[in-house]
Each structure stands twice: as structure tokens, then as C-alpha cells.
Chains A and B, each alone.
Chain A
């Protein structure tokens, strides 16, 4: 049997079985994120996170985006932690605070990529929850920074301390 015929047979059978499977089980949906107490922005369960599209970003790539001015960082740690130090220019949406206001969302819509972070990478679900929520507001590219602030600082990337003047008027 010719090679192309073999490939065709396998592909057709695969497609037919996939269609059958999809017909019987339906097309898959992304799993819903588990509810997390004290999630960033709060009110996560009311918003329904089932269809979130959020990926990861490394500190290196986030730094590159920062140089290009096309990124907005969102810090979801507590107020004292934020005051002590954060990514330069980051906005602050603390876990214990309310949902981000429309003005803050409007500011985030001006960025090509929004990066959330907290104190760790995969272990910090707060930043994942916030990223999911922001993604569901229609922001096209929301990512969670792998390793969080410690990874950012370990690279010696720009950071600053103090409050977030933009947040008081927009949050």
C-alpha cells in the first residue's frame, strides 16, 4: 500500500472517531478554576471563571515587554507588601480589596499585555485568579508571571517602593 494511502486511511479513521467521540461526549471545555478564598479582586465565584484563557510569562519576557512599553503589571499582594516594594509602575489590586474599578480596567485595556504577579509562581493562586478575572473582562492577553516578584527581583529588574498613585483614583 502506498505511503500516502496509509496516511490518508489513518487520518480519515482518526477524524471519524474524533467526530464520533465529540458527538457522544460533546466538545471539551476548559476546567473551571477552583474557588480560592481571599482571591485577588474578590468576588471570583460570582464572575464564573470557567472559560478563562490565561497563560504564563517568564520574568525575562515580561521585562522585554516593559522595555517596549506595551505591558501593564498588576500586583495583588497586600498593601504593606506593595508599599515595601513592587515592579516599577505596577498597579495594585490587593486580594482583600474589591473588584477592580472600571477606570482601572480602562487603563489596563490600553496595554497589549497585562501581567499579574504576587509572591510566588504556581503556588500563588491569587495572581492566577486575578488574571482569570481580568481575562474575562475582555482583556486579550493576560498572563501570570512565573516566580512572581521574587523571580523579578532576582534578575535585578526595575522595582520601586511606595504607594500606587494611579490606583487611588482608578481602583
Chain B
């Protein structure tokens, strides 16, 4: 391996680590208040007017738990690619939910970080979520390509 390739791969590793820590922090910050106050989160979900009434409570319980596990798994080695892929899917989903609300003229608070954070849904917020989602997608793809496959692992042993 040439020196510049080595430098590039170490730069990518550092960048990936920063993305992982950043996304994990973001999702921890998002999950904990919602887990503490699921009723308030349910109210925020209802304001998006996307989910049927029957799904509000299960989603209000399940989504923060998924965010929490994604955050923890982003920090832990073996599940980085999977958690980053899930994180990316969630962030794209959040962006889509916000975009449909803005497109329909619904003026609402995002409910992204629980009751204490009362940011209004805006196109800026949609764009920010898309950027985060792309970052998470890059982490998923690049982590997957750097993980040893059984074949390469055996070759390394041999």
C-alpha cells in the first residue's frame, strides 16, 4: 500500500469515527427525553398527521428505543454498519415526515428531542436531516466494505 493510500484510509477512519460518535450523540439526545415522556412524544407524533391513531402509542414506545439501540450500536464495533443503515433510514423517514408536513402547510414543532426542544419544523430542518442521513449512509457503506468477509479473514490467517 502506498503512503498516500494509507493517509487516505486513516483520514476516512477518523472521519467515520467522528460521524459515528456524532450520530450516536444525536440519537442519544433524541431518545432519552422521549423514553422519559412517551405521552408528550405521542402528542408530537399526532401533530404530523401521518400515522393512524392506533399506531401512535406503539410508535411512541418503539421509536425512541430503536434510536437508543442505534446510538449504542454505532459506538460498539460489531454492529456499526447495521446501526448506521438503520440510523440513515430513520433520518430519511424523519425528513420525509417533516417535508410532507411543510408541504401541507402544517405548522408544528418537530418533537425531535422531547418536550424541552420546541423547534419548529422547517425546510432547514428537513435539509439537516437529509445531510445527517447521508452521513449515516456513508458510515454504513464504508463500514461494511472495511469489515473482513470470511474469505478475506481466512486469507489473512493463511
Contact = CB atoms under 8 A, between A and B. Distances in A.
B70 interface: yes
A137 interface: no
Contact of A30 (B42, B62, B108, B140): B42
Contacts of A56: 47, 106-108
Contacts of A53: 46, 53
B46 A55 contact: yes
Interface stretch (A7-15, A37-45, A71-79): A7-15
Interface in A36-84: 53, 55-58, 60-61, 64
Interface in B136-155: 140, 144, 147
Interface residues on B, range: 35 or more
B42 A18 contact: no
Nearest to B64: A18
Contacts of B82: 1, 3, 5-7, 9-10
A120 B43 CA distance: 21
A7 B69 contact: no
B38 A28 contact: yes
Given A6-B83, A18-B58, A28-B38, 15 more contacts: A1-B82, A1-B147, A10-B66, A10-B69, A10-B86, A14-B69, A17-B69, A21-B61, A25-B38, A28-B41, A30-B39, A31-B40, A55-B106, A64-B105, A146-B107
Interface of B: 35, 38-43, 46-47, 49, 53, 57-58, 60-62, 65-66, 69-70, 73, 78-79, 81-83, 85-86, 104-108, 140, 144, 147
Can you list the 4 inter-chain pairs with the closest CB atoms, starting with the nearest?
A: A6-B82, A61-B105, A28-B38, A58-B107
Interface of A: 1, 3, 5-7, 9-11, 13-15, 17-18, 21-22, 25, 27-31, 53, 55-58, 60-61, 64, 146
